[in-house]
Structure 1
Amino acid sequence: MTAFTSMRRNALGAFTILAGATLCTLSAHAQNPPVSGTQRATAQQVSERGIPLSELAPNAPDTYTVKRGDTLWGISGMYLKRPWRWPELWGMNLQAIPNPHLIFPGQTLYLDRSGGYARLSTTPPGSSEPETVRVSPRTRSESLGDTALPTLKPHLIEPFLVEPLVVDAQVLQQAPRIIATTEERVLMATGDRAYVRSHQASPLQADAGDPRQFRVFRDAVALKDPATGEILGYEAQYLGRAELIRGESFEDVPNGRGGYTTEYVPATIDLKATKEEIRAGDRLLPMPGRAFVTYTPRAPQMDVEARVVSIYGSSAVAFAAQNQVVAISVGSQDGVEPGHVLTLLSRDSRVKDVSDGKNASIKLPNEDNGTVMVFRTFERVSYALLLEIRNGVRVGDRLVNPK
């Protein structure tokens, strides 16, 4: 490769990569959120003009050079009083929101405050020349998306992109199950070999094209809406990863009477990584393919009224703290998408009015308790990261649109 790679963003929102004499284009794939034509037109108009200067953070810098370790949420908070209005400041339309204009370390951001509105771009105000970004040399090729600025600190959510699984109860019950291990151990850990039996209709095979990497789960727990008691789904407990070594088969075994009997032989797996000890009865589901996911912090276009359903991985803990993950009672069927920001309201609380000696029970107003961002959705349940909270978060706390 040459000593540096330069990148320019063209007017169509695609990124052109110049590497020596090779020219290629990485396009930003758009997704269409479920909004009306009126909503789309309004959002486009706001996007074109930016946001009122009153929405800027008091010390919003006129220029800022992106550094390694920065996050989109951190830069949003640097520029905005309400970071979820980032798409409007950055000038994104609704089609571009799920896949934001990529921001890279080394780029300079310019804040334009003209006309009473603020806009942010990588082009200096008054200039039409796209910025050239110099990227450190690499001895191997890699995806440009891998160097883009993440929305959040990756270590906070990466484990949860594969760990929580919300399924129908029947899905887990019909998944292949561990039946035994070598040396008749009761509990299994990383490095152990185990044997698996599948549902008769879908035997485990190790043929070309069949899944070889699996996740191990334990019986699913019902996720109930705290307000109605309705079951929204079943959360399976993630235990670890396994690799299929040999598929299920049948073998002819001498029966001692001069003939043979056909006997079933279970599949063989090796446990590659375990979060908790694994035992007979735990279930296997194929490992999903790795996907590069980007999130743009933004307010939902529709009204949201939700509740905290559970604190992930902490069934014995009453309060969740900052940077913990919670399950909430809305999902993809409600229009919720990764990147949506919601405001937490403390659960209804009451106090006794002792001022007049009657000790009447008085309901206190709901208090704004912080901000969450959705990063993974299922049909009726989503997982969200607690970004900024003032007090501990409990099951039953409300979530609404940010103001």
Structure 2
Amino acid sequence: MFLRHATVSRGRSPVPGSLAAAVTGLALLLGSVPGQAAEPNYPVTDAQRGTARQVAQAGVPLSELAPNAPDSYTIKRGDTLWDISSLFLRSPWRWPELWGMNLEAIRNPHLIYPGQMLVLVKSGGRAQLQLGRVIDASGTQKLSPRARETAMDRGPIGAINLTLIQPFLTEAVVLDTNELADAPRIVAGREGRVLLGRGDIAYVRGEMAPRRDWQVFRRAQPLTDPQTGEVLGYEAAYVGTAEYLQPGEQRTLDDGKPEIVPATVSLKTLRQEATVGDRLSAPQPRDDGRHVPHAPNAPLDAQVVSVYGDGLQAGQNQIIAINRGRSGGVEPGHVLGIWRAGSVVRDGEDPTRTSVRLPDERNGHLYVFRVFERVSYGLILASETPVRRGDRISQP
């Protein structure tokens, strides 16, 4: 289903040690809430715990704090890890170095919850973020009104606003080959309809296993590398879902000629109208999107392949594809830098009017949430100017 090979990317500069340490940040999140129901047991390696101890003891230099970083903050429902990190840090991807921890008390280091108070502790020119209550200089505990935690508030906060990427966790699909060309396809609608809506009946030709649910995609389009033009994979635009109602069959008429009877499906949920020619595929594995944001632990150099949805440019909270995937060292949760390519100008005072390439300029940040073999999808967290195909992507 996925792409088969890719050239390993080579970056232009090494990753600072502090950012490499950030990769282990999944071991730095705060612990459980008393009485909290059991959560999934995400693995934490011995190496991650070892690095976690080191960075937790060090914290971050005060110069890395955001100008208006508060002394304390109580997590609210709707907060995200990225929001909180941006509140305290100039470089939010360095959050693992900021979070204080108690390794013995942490049950699930991937989860923090609404209602927990975070306190910024400053000492020796460095800062840590710890779980606790505010204590003033006299040692008196400061109490303040707070909302009572309810059952609906007990879910863990996400790394980013999951509503922005939830549809893409299963709907965005990149295939290694154009296999949808041979997938079951809609050949007709009831009463000759060409455009089909929710609840409409569609007739499908092709081999269909007797499973209840199917996903519907538009004909896949190739994704090409901005530099080489090489096809990296085939992007299948998501249309919706269909329920399998009745199998098809092939009959032989009295005159010996074959007659094909298509399978019958009912369209259930749609992002856009289905139409004759749309392809059907078995549902893709689901991803809950709860990845820990972190910087790559090795140099990475990539480019923007496309803007999702056939756009020519993208801005904050939009989805783009880049020309690196698993085989290029990209993984879900990576926070990457977006660079605007420098334009070419002519030196007007040079008699030969020499062309001058202006330097690339940092334009924003990208959060990778879906990774295929040679292509990845990311959410633009911030951008100063529109992001376009060919823009450079690197470590933050």
CA–CA distance in 1 between the matches of 2:203 and 2:44? Answer: 42
Pair 1:397-2:391 in alignment: yes
Pair 1:104-2:117 in alignment: no
User: Normalized against structure 1, the TM-score is what?
Assistant: 0.78
Q: Hey, what does 2:98 align to over in structure 1?
A: 89
One-letter amino acid of the counterpart of residue 232, structure 1:
L
CA–CA distance in 1 between the matches of 2:150 and 2:49? Answer: 39
Pair 1:198-2:211 in alignment: no
Q: Label 1:280 to 1:92 Cα distance change in 2 as closer, same or farther (>3 A).
A: farther
Pair 1:240-2:240 in alignment: yes
Name structure 2 gaps, 5 residues minimum.
1-27, 103-107, 140-146
Q: Hey, what does 2:39 align to over in structure 1?
A: 26
Q: Label 1:381 to 1:289 Cα distance change in 2 as closer, same or farther (>3 A).
A: closer
Pair 1:295-2:294 in alignment: no
Q: Label 1:40 to 1:369 Cα distance change in 2 as closer, same or farther (>3 A).
A: farther
CA–CA distance in 1 between the matches of 2:284 and 2:170? Answer: 8
Q: Give deviations 1:140-169, integer Å, cap 9, x for gaps.
A: xx9x5xx22122223221122222210023
One-letter amino acid of the counterpart of residue 190, structure 1:
R
In the TM superposition, 1:63-74 aligns within 5 A as 63-74=72-83
One-letter amino acid of the counterpart of residue 221, structure 1:
Q
Instruction: Report the CA distance between 1:103 and its aligned residue.
Output: 1.9
Which shifted more, 170-179 or 230-239?
170-179
Q: Hey, what does 2:105 align to over in structure 1?
A: none
Residues 30 and 131, structure 2, Cα contact 8 Å, conserved in 1: no
Q: Give deviations 1:232-279, integer Å, cap 9, x for gaps.
A: 11101211221112233467x9x679xx99965322111112223322
CA–CA distance in 1 between the matches of 2:273 and 2:83? Answer: 37
CA–CA distance in 2 between the matches of 1:113 and 1:12? Answer: 19
One-letter amino acid of the counterpart of residue 245, structure 2:
I
CA–CA distance in 1 between the matches of 2:276 and 2:160? Answer: 37
Pair 1:354-2:348 in alignment: yes
One-letter amino acid of the counterpart of residue 49, structure 1:
A
Q: Label 1:165 to 1:385 Cα distance change in 2 as closer, same or farther (>3 A).
A: same
In the TM superposition, 1:49-88 aligns within 5 A as 49-88=58-97
Pair 1:322-2:316 in alignment: yes
One-letter amino acid of the counterpart of residue 209, structure 2:
L
Instruction: Report the CA distance between 1:92 and its aligned residue.
Output: 7.8
Question: Which residue of the other structure, out of 156, 161, 166, is the alignment partner of 1:148?
Answer: 156
Q: Label 1:159 to 1:53 Cα distance change in 2 as closer, same or farther (>3 A).
A: same
Which shifted more, 159-168 or 370-379?
159-168
Question: Which residue of the other structure, out of 305, 325, 335, is the alignment partner of 2:329?
Answer: 335
One-letter amino acid of the counterpart of residue 195, structure 1:
Y
Residues 100 and 296, structure 1, Cα contact 8 Å, conserved in 2: no
Tell me the secondary structure at the aligned position of residue 333 of structure 1: helix
Q: Hey, what does 2:150 align to over in structure 1?
A: 136
Q: Hey, what does 1:185 align to over in structure 2?
A: 193
One-letter amino acid of the counterpart of residue 274, structure 1:
L
Q: Label 1:360 to 1:250 Cα distance change in 2 as closer, same or farther (>3 A).
A: closer
Tell me the secondary structure at the aligned position of residue 18 of structure 1: coil
Q: Hey, what does 1:130 align to over in structure 2?
A: none
Q: Label 1:110 to 1:51 Cα distance change in 2 as closer, same or farther (>3 A).
A: same
Pair 1:344-2:338 in alignment: yes
Tell me the secondary structure at the aligned position of residue 73 of structure 2: strand
One-letter amino acid of the counterpart of residue 18, structure 1:
G
Q: How many residue pairs were aligned?
A: 355
Residues 178 and 220, structure 2, Cα contact 8 Å, conserved in 1: no
Which shifted more, 282-291 or 63-72?
282-291
Residues 57 and 80, structure 1, Cα contact 8 Å, conserved in 2: yes
Tell me the secondary structure at the aligned position of residue 292 of structure 1: coil
Q: Give deviations 1:104-133, integer Å, cap 9, x for gaps.
A: 221111222223332212235999xxxxx9
Pair 1:368-2:376 in alignment: no
Pair 1:271-2:267 in alignment: yes
Name structure 1 gaps, 5 residues minimum.
1-10, 94-98, 128-132
Instruction: Report the CA distance between 1:137 and its aligned residue.
Output: 4.2
CA–CA distance in 2 between the matches of 1:357 and 1:250? Answer: 76
Indicate the structure with greater strand content. Answer: 1
Among the aligned pairs, what percent are the same residue? 47
Question: Larger RCO: Structure 1 or Structure 2 (Cα < 8 Å, ≥ 6 residues apart)?
Answer: 2
Tell me the secondary structure at the aligned position of residue 196 of structure 1: strand
Instruction: Report the CA distance between 1:194 and its aligned residue.
Output: 0.5
CA–CA distance in 1 between the matches of 2:232 and 2:44? Answer: 26
Q: Label 1:55 to 1:31 Cα distance change in 2 as closer, same or farther (>3 A).
A: same
CA–CA distance in 1 between the matches of 2:134 and 2:238? Answer: 50
The Cα RMSD (Å) is: 3.3
Tell me the secondary structure at the aligned position of residue 173 of structure 1: helix
Residues 170 and 286, structure 2, Cα contact 8 Å, conserved in 1: no
CA–CA distance in 2 between the matches of 1:14 and 1:47? Answer: 14
Q: Label 1:234 to 1:59 Cα distance change in 2 as closer, same or farther (>3 A).
A: same
Tell me the secondary structure at the aligned position of residue 169 of structure 1: coil
One-letter amino acid of the counterpart of residue 117, structure 2:
T
